[in-house]
Amino acid sequence: MDLSYYVCPKCGKRFSDEEMEFVRCSYCGGKVLFKETPPLAKKVRTD
């Protein structure tokens, strides 16, 4: 699964890969940057 997303540094709005059709933020018109979700979601085994 691709967990990467886009974020607008101006207003802090986040866009998922599906929502992000344009390079610009649809809220403030700022340039949206590509970001990747840090590998925090480690699966913990409980056995």
- Residues pairing with 7 in the sheet: 14, 33
Neighbours of 19 (CB within 10 A): 12
CA pair distance 30, 14, nearest whole angstrom: 12
> Would you count residue 20 as binding Zn ion (CB under 5 A)?
no
> Would you count residue 31 as binding Zn ion (CB under 5 A)?
no
Encoded tokens for 14: 């986040």
Out of 6, 8, 15, 20, name the contact with Zn ion by CB under 5 A.
Answer: 8
> Would you count residue 9 as binding Zn ion (CB under 5 A)?
no
> Would you count residue 30 as binding Zn ion (CB under 5 A)?
yes
Q: Which is nearer to Zn ion, 18 or 47 (CB)?
A: 18
